[in-house]
């Protein structure tokens, strides 16, 4: 808690085109938190380099991710929006927290195992220890809540363990954060393989709907979505493809599963897939328009980066200074 105000923190990597999974599971709901919390939203470019990046693309995507934040409803006057590498305290606290994070804990992280199998030629130390950097991101701001997708819950649980371990040795240093998992759209699945999460790094672009896809592309991808041999639009066990499409439709329209089943009673999968595509495209259209306007004004984006970094640094310095003092570091 900062200045008697609850704190919410979240971050998104600029490592690829953001998907409707990122939008529905996280970004779409971010703006709701600014009414209740002091909110920090970070473009986590330091996390992105655990896998090899093309420098020009990383720079471009950093601007694009910040523009998307704002286009999706994050008002820079109500939220602290900034780029991770602009606040050096993240990296400094990460090293300290590495020394309070156990090797066995990092070995059990699901995402390390997944990324190691996908990038077997580059299993670097950063890929292994990045949960400590994620913990630093969160703990720097004395964060109370972390809105995350269900696949990131393990990272917040580790962050809690690290904070509690540090606090046992050096009491009253960190606020121990709680994860908040949005129940609707908490995990959007691949259109090509609905047993797997939709991923922006999927090589099959037809499996993924990106926030910036145009209407024709969105509808084409939904028309090709994998379903099953049944024809009834109903949410049931064993109907992973339709369940996923119903979840997406529910997120974009606000309708319950029962309402969706009633709406498409007597209609086949073709009609339903088209409706999902139309609802998705209609919801994303104003976001895309605003995004184009914002991205065209580079000076505006850089001004927001600077403003956000200054705000974030103010709070980050306070926490890092407190930690360094407790550890016995000499301050000049």
Which residue among the candidates 78, 153, 187, 200 is catalytic per the annotation? 200
Angle at 240 between CA 237 and CA 241, to 5 degrees: 140
Note the pLDDT of residue 8: 95
pLDDT in tens, 165-201: 999 999 999 999 999 876 655 689 999 999 998 988 7
- Residue 117 gets the label, from left (phi > 0), alpha (psi -120 to 50) or beta, of alpha
Q: What CATH number does domain 7-181+298-327 carry, 3.30.365.10, 3.40.50.620, 3.30.70.2860, 3.90.79.10?
A: 3.40.50.620
Q: Taking the domains of the chain in order of start, what are their residue ranges? A: 7-181+298-327, 205-291
* 115 among known catalytic residues: yes
Note the pLDDT of residue 126: 87
CA dihedral 134→197→56→132, nearest 10 degrees, is 10
* 36 among known catalytic residues: no
Q: What pTM, to 2 d.p., does this model score?
A: 0.87
Which residue among the candidates 78, 153, 187, 197 is catalytic per the annotation? 197
Note the pLDDT of residue 16: 65
Give the homologous superfamily in CATH for domain 205-291: Tyrosyl-Transfer RNA Synthetase (1.10.240.10)
Note the pLDDT of residue 201: 79
* 200 among known catalytic residues: yes
Which residue among the candidates 28, 115, 221, 273 is catalytic per the annotation? 115
* pLDDT lower than 70: segments of the chain: 1-3, 16, 117, 119, 182-186
Angle at 35 between CA 34 and CA 38, to 5 degrees: 45
């Amino acid at each position: 808690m900062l200045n008697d105000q609850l704190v919410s923190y979240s971050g998104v990597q600029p490592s690829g085109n953001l998907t409707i999974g990122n939008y529905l599971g996280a970004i779409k709901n971010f703006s709701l938190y600014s009414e209740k919390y002091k909110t920090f939203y970070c473009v986590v470019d330091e996390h992105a380099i655990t896998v090899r990046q093309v420098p020009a693309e990383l720079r471009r995507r950093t601007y694009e991710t910040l523009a998307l934040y704002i286009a999706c409803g994050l008002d820079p006057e109500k939220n602290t929006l900034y780029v991770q590498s602009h606040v050096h305290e993240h990296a400094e606290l990460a090293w300290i927290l590495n020394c309070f994070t156990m090797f066995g804990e990092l070995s059990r992280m699901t995402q390390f195992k997944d990324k190691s199998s996908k990038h077997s030629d580059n299993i670097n130390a950063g890929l292994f220890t990045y949960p400590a950097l994620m913990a630093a991101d969160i703990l720097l701001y004395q964060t109370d809540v972390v809105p995350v997708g269900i696949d990131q819950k393990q990272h917040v649980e580790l962050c809690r363990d690290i904070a509690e371990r540090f606090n046992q040795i050096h009491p009253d240093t960190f606020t121990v954060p709680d994860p908040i998992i949005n129940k609707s759209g908490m995990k959007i699945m691949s259109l090509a393989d609905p047993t797997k999460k939709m991923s922006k790094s999927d090589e099959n672009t037809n499996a993924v709907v990106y926030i910036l896809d145009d209407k024709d592309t969105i509808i084409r991808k939904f028309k090709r979505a994998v379903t099953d041999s049944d024809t009834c639009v109903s949410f049931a066990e064993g109907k992973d493809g339709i369940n996923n499409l119903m979840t997406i439709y529910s997120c974009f329209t606000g309708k319950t599963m029962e309402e969706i089943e009633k709406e498409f009673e007597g209609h086949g999968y073709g009609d339903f897939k088209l409706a999902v595509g139309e609802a998705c495209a209609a919801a994303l259209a104003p976001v895309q328009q605003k995004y184009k306007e914002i991205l065209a004004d580079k000076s505006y984006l850089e001004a927001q980066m600077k403003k956000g970094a200054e705000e974030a640094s103010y709070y980050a310095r306070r926490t890092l200074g407190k930690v360094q003092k407790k550890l016995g570091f000499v301050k000049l």
